[in-house]
Structure 1
Amino acid sequence: MALDVLVAGGGLMGASAAWRLSARGHRVTVLERFGPGHDRGSSHGTSRIFRLAYAEPSYTELALRALPLWRQLEEESGRAVLTLTGAVDHGPPEVLERLAGVLARAGRPGRRLSPGEVAERWPGLRADTAALYHPDAGRVHADDTVAALLDAAGRRGAEVRHGVRVTEIRRTGGGATVVTDTDEALVADAVVVAVGGWAPGPAAGVVNGLPPLRVTQEQPVHFPVPDALEWPSFIHHPGAGLRLPGGVYGLGSVDGVKIGLHGVGPVVDPDHRDRTPDPAALDRLRAYAEEWLPGMAGTGPEPLTCLYTTTPDEDFVIDRQGPVTVLAGCSGHAFKFGPALGELAADLVEGGPGLPRFALGRTAPTR
């Protein structure tokens, strides 16, 4: 039976849910607070990492579910959004052994490399102690992805409304009523809440067990090197020769080689944040590049800011209570899974099971 579904939020998560719901024949309306292509949340920019290599096998499985959906999205939208360049993980050998084992059990290739072999193949990149190369990885163009998802959903009948802010969600009968900032009341069979750092507002009072969401302002940088699109994505894991908490990630993009620290920015209010780059954060990344990225020599980094919204255990929240499905805490490493998480949201809206790892009210240790 086709349902009337309102999706609050038109970033990656909301757009992915809208695409998969509309593909199943549901009547979908997306309500996005900001304009098309905005940079106020977590889904903008030109680059995100796609990879299969995870220490937690369930994330590798989820990325494998996403891969054919990425290709389907490209076919439906006519946009190329995923480029496989391969990826290099480097750092403590025990970390890489774990990653290699998960890839092997999933039947995916991975090759161990010495730092010398890394330097020979990618002269701009210096590896630490040991390295693992896996070809099923690369980059996703973030802005183009969101546009492609909304376009593909629209071709299947979804309506996308920009400049509409959801202020309240109420359960009404067997469905829900969504109230907007213009006091418009919209009635639907189901609601998907996918508003990133703003999730506690619309979700308050309609779902229980939403874990604390930490909203931070992160500051990656782009180094405008001419061969940026030839770079693999890479993750430098902490330990061994690196003492930066969370490690460093990097990848090529049309804006240069992007590098950043993982989840170390200051806590902010998403409505009232100063997006002025932090000189200390910029200096840390510049110093890192001087030591580990010889390919950046002679270039100046260009900083940018974005929002991270994370849970204490860094696992996502993707669950349903009654007519309300919540997608939250998806920053930091969720982009690569986007279409698969949209499929999971569609399952939940239709009354299907979710994944215990992403459940509301779960009990999990802080990482």
Structure 2
Amino acid sequence: MVVVGAGVVGAAAAWQLAARGNEVLLLDRFGPGHSHGASHGTSRIYRQTYASDPYVRLAVEAHDLWRCLEDVTGAPLLQITGGVDHGDDVASVRALAASLAAHGIAHTWLDPREAEQRWPGMRFSGRVLLQPDRSGRLHADQAVAALTAAAAGHGAVLRRHTRVERLAVRGDDRVDVATPDGRIRARRVVVAAGAWSAGLLAGLVDLPPLRVTQEQPAHFAVRGADPCRPVDPAWPTFIHHTGPAQGWPSAVYGLPAPGLGVKVGFHGVGPECDPDRRTFTAEPDQLARLQDYVARFLPGLDASRPDPVSCTYTTTPDSGFFLHAAGPLVVAAGLSGHGFKFAPALGRVLADLAVGDATRSPLAAAG
């Protein structure tokens, strides 16, 4: 089997497939730790705080698989910090609390002043939902490296700097994978190509509309912190459910970033882009709005000197995942913005689809 894309989801699929005894070739057009896609950097949020049952169940499964991966590789990947949700969209926060209660996941409510005493570097809008023991931070680069190492440990072969130029389906049990180094014949191909999915799969799979944007969160230094030491883990991950009605472009997320401060960003409002022609340059007006937000709601951070980060989001119109089997092709697309946390469980779902097993996830489809 061939897996196209060695980001976090492709690497997870390669791990799951190889662990089941399949011969796996993992292809990636870039080198390790590259910044062209959506899997690089130090920090991604892990949380089980979702209102949708399938996503909660997938996140719970992913938690156990992240811990399994840590055991297998010895790499520290998931740091539990606790996570908070607050904001002007009260109904959304209440729906999250109801979902946590329905799944038996620990949570509690704090009033804003209580929350500010607990986290003096933060300010809050409305009641604060705290999930204390299943929310935290994943180290992105280390997670991808651990997944590829675990896949290799089961015999998977990783070939970097290998661009897949096109795919040709030759029947129900064969795909030709064209690369600059020649053609590879595969019985199944799993495509987890992120921003390059639409171009690679055009005419082969009925994809939903995929929007590729260049997002620009930024790292902000913690006031009074030693720049040579990691951020105090007392900083939780957080989601502020706000938006244009309150003067901000979108909801805001944030999380500790070891050695870099706290990563803060607007969610999914970057300009559309061609992934091969990105500028990697922060849009000045949006960066200024992010600094305004930090100055108002995160006074424990230095808003005056942001360090912008550039990454791509590839999203469907409803931000739902596209997990689909079409003959010998298996596709994962539209995962950006919240897919990283689920990666090892998504790898399991893709492996199910690739080998023809009935998958436990209602998010996946075969056709």
Contact 2:165–2:200 (Cα < 8 Å) also in 1: yes
For residues 292 and 241 of structure 1, do their structure 2 counterparts lie closer, same or farther at Cα, with a shift above 3 Å needed?
A: farther
User: 1:274 aligned to 275, 279, 289, which one?
Assistant: 279
Structure 1 position 80 matched with structure 2 position 76: yes
Q: Structure 2 unaligned runs (5+)?
A: 226-230
Contact 1:229–1:253 (Cα < 8 Å) also in 2: no
Q: Show the 5 A alignment for 1:159-308.
A: 159-182=157-180, 184-207=182-205, 209-225=206-222, 226=225, 227-238=231-242, 242-254=246-258, 255-297=260-302, 300-308=305-313
**Secondary structure class of the residue paired with 2:165:** strand
TM-superposed deviation, 1:176: 2.6
After superposition, the C-alpha distances for 1:306-331 in whole angstroms (9 at most, x for unaligned) are 00000111101111011100011110
**Secondary structure class of the residue paired with 1:217:** strand
In 2, Cα distance between equivalents of 1:329 and 1:298: 31
Segment of structure 1 superposing worse, 339-348 or 51-60: 51-60
Structure 1 position 71 matched with structure 2 position 76: no
Map of 2:228 onto structure 1: none
TM-superposed deviation, 1:348: 0.3
TM-superposed deviation, 1:95: 2.2
Map of 1:338 onto structure 2: 343
Map of 1:89 onto structure 2: 85
**Secondary structure class of the residue paired with 2:49:** coil
In 1, Cα distance between equivalents of 2:195 and 2:9: 12
TM-superposed deviation, 1:273: 1.3
For residues 114 and 240 of structure 1, do their structure 2 counterparts lie closer, same or farther at Cα, with a shift above 3 Å needed?
A: farther
Give the letter aligned to residue 173 of structure 2. Answer: G
TM-superposed deviation, 1:245: 4.1
Percent of counterpart pairs with the same letter? 49
After superposition, the C-alpha distances for 1:91-130 in whole angstroms (9 at most, x for unaligned) are 1432222111100110111100011111111101111111
Calculate the TM-score normalised by the size of structure 2: 0.93
**Secondary structure class of the residue paired with 1:179:** strand
In 2, Cα distance between equivalents of 1:146 and 1:211: 26
The alignment yields a C-alpha RMSD, in angstroms, of 1.7
TM-superposed deviation, 1:281: 1.6
Map of 1:57 onto structure 2: 53
In 2, Cα distance between equivalents of 1:181 and 1:216: 26
Map of 1:365 onto structure 2: none
In 1, Cα distance between equivalents of 2:233 and 2:257: 6
Q: Structure 1 unaligned runs (5+)?
A: 362-367
In 1, Cα distance between equivalents of 2:270 and 2:366: 25
Segment of structure 1 superposing worse, 310-319 or 291-300: 291-300
After superposition, the C-alpha distances for 1:281-328 in whole angstroms (9 at most, x for unaligned) are 210110001110010147521111100000111101111011100011
Map of 1:133 onto structure 2: 130
In 1, Cα distance between equivalents of 2:296 and 2:340: 28
Q: How many residues align?
A: 356
In 1, Cα distance between equivalents of 2:66 and 2:23: 22
After superposition, the C-alpha distances for 1:219-258 in whole angstroms (9 at most, x for unaligned) are 0000122345431000000169944243100000112100
Contact 2:167–2:178 (Cα < 8 Å) also in 1: no
Contact 1:286–1:301 (Cα < 8 Å) also in 2: yes
TM-superposed deviation, 1:206: 2.5
Calculate the TM-score normalised by the size of structure 1: 0.93
TM-superposed deviation, 1:178: 3.4
